[in-house]
Structure 1
Amino acid sequence: MGEAFLWGGISASALLLGAFLAYRFRLGPRVIAVIMALGSGLLLGSVSFELIDEALKTRTVAGVGLMVLAGAAVFAAGDWLLSRRGGGDRKDTGGAQAAGSPLAIVLGSVLDGVPESFVLGLTVLQGQVSVALLTGIMLSNLPEGMASSSGLRAAGWPQRRVLLMWTVVLLVSAFSAAAGYTVLDPADGRTGALTQAFAAGALLAMLSDTLLPEAYEVEGVLTGFLVVAGFAVSIALTAI
């Protein structure tokens, strides 16, 4: 469990790095969008090869499909509630977060990070951390930390306060990874297949609702190529 906690914290540390970069440099929205698109492709590969494929080995197609829909529905409901409270633009590359609620932004980031960190803990349980999933999470967290922190900086938030907020998100992500490791322990008689499918649905909904729209808004038609490039990298990393 300790190893899963560590990897969960490492994956979320990209949020802190993104916040630091946002306050020290002025990276253009295109850089952030490229990282978002590549990270989306990597996460899509992880969902395909390490969640759905594994779940189908022990569960029926219908069962896996229903759990995928359930995961997407839960994420969409949470995202909708937070969007109504000012967290809808938490990954906007142009700094629209300045008009939103800082608390909703942080809670939205927690919502984004829980399913991916939970699954990361599961990969540790299966023998070793998934390099493809870890890379994808970090490449999605980096632009999130950069974009969200840019908006908070525009709203007049000091760097220390923003870093403290992302530290809270980091700790939640680390505990989520540890929970994924503990809850899905085979010694307790759980196969984890349905949980894998549920997390896959939540991750797919997160990519569709937050990362991909923001990337496409900046990169346009190049977004598709970048996503596929990230997916191809995921295929290569899966073999490691």
Structure 2
Amino acid sequence: MGEAVLWGSVAASPLIVGALLALWRPWPPRWLGIVLGFGAGALMASIAFELWEEGLELGGPLPLAIGVAAGAVCYYIGDRIVEKRATSSAGQGAPLAVGALLDGVPEQLVLGIGLASGEGVSVALVIAILVSNLPESIGSASDLLEGGMRRSRVIGLWAIVAVACALATIAGFALADAVGPEFRAAASGFAAGALLVMLVDSMVPEAQSKAKDETGLATVLGFALAAGLSMVS
């Protein structure tokens, strides 16, 4: 259990670090767009080379497809609820936080199950998580601050997301003996589905609006780095 607490905290820590970086200094819109584009590319690689491939290997296409559909629908509904309650000036900050939660919880649940099953955690995988989570939290926290949210509320929001993700690793470790590979495949699919909708609806449009022509290059660089790290791991 101690191993699950350690790796759950390590995997969730970039979410807090990104929010703190946004609080530390204002990010120029162009640089913020580049960061978001880079993060979007990293998340695309995570979907293709980790969540999708692992889901297929574990449980086959049916549990994976069910998970993808469920994740996509949950994010869509959650995003609509957030849009109704958030102010229009908050930009894409709140949707990005919802995406981080719906991605991080099932992803770290699978991590915890893997740890309980005796699977190791590579340094490359930890770096890949850092590469994808850090830009997401920087972009969201910056937008929320720009929209007028108090600094204490911004850090509190991302602390809740990080704690929920870390606790998911512990829950996965505890539930490892009670779930099968099909559940792990569905959980990977859920994270992939939520991420795909978030990327198309929120993260990529926000990056494009801020960085313009540099968004595509930043996205490709993020994809290449995260894909390379996934292959090493």
Is this a same-fold pair by TM over 0.5?
yes
* Contact 1:38–1:230 (8 Å) recurs in 2: yes
The residue matched to 1:57 in structure 2 has which SS?
A: helix
**Aligned-pair distance for 1:23?**
4.2
Q: Is the 8 A contact 1:75 1:205 kept in 2?
A: yes
Residue 112 of structure 1 pairs with residue 105 of structure 2:
no
Is contact 1:72–1:205 with CA below 8 Å preserved after alignment? yes
Tell me the number of residue pairs that the alignment of Structure 1 and Structure 2 aligns. Answer: 222
Question: What are structure 1's unaligned runs of at least 5 residues?
Answer: 98-104
**1:193-204 superposed matches below 5 A:** 193-204=185-196
Regions of 4+ moved over 6 Å: none
Partner of 1:223: 215
Deviations 1:143-190 (A, max 9, x none): 2222222323xx5x3x4454344333332232233334444x2x2241
Partner of residue 102, structure 1: none
Corresponding residue for 2:204?
212
Post-superposition Cα deviations, 1:111-158, rounded to whole Å, max 9, x if no partner, equal: 532422431342352421623133211222222222222323xx5x3x
Deviation at 1:87, TM superposition (A): 6.2
- Once superposed, what is the RMSD of the aligned Cα atoms? 2.8
2: CA distance, partners of 1:44 / 1:212 = 11
CA contact (8 A) 2:79 2:98 kept: no
Q: Give the % identical residues.
A: 30
Q: Following TM superposition, by how much is the alpha carbon of 1:91 offset from its aligned partner in structure 2, in angstroms? A: 5.2
Q: Distance in 2 between matches of 1:33 and 1:86?
A: 21
1:10 shift after superposition: 4.1
Query: Could you state the TM-score of these two structures normalised by the residue count of structure 2?
Result: 0.79
Equivalent residues in 2 for 1:48-127, closer than 5 Å:
48-86=48-86, 90=90, 92=92, 105=94, 109-110=97-98, 112-123=100-111, 125=114, 126-127=119-120
* 1:170 matched to 2:166: no
Task: Confirm or deny: 8 A CA contact 1:90 1:148 kept in the other structure.
Answer: yes
Give the aligned partner of residue 228 of structure 2: 236
- Alignment counterpart, residue 137 of structure 1, candidates 133, 137, 159: 133
Answer whether contact 1:116 1:203 (CA < 8 A) is retained: no
C-alpha spacing 1:22/1:197, structure 2 compared with 1 (3 Å): closer
Distance of aligned partners of 1:201 and 1:180 in 2 relative to their CA distance in 1, 3 Å threshold: farther
More helix per residue:
2
Which residue of 2 is the match for residue 147 of structure 1?
A: 143
Q: Which runs of 5+ in 2 are unaligned?
A: none
Contact 2:17 2:134 in 1 (8 A): no
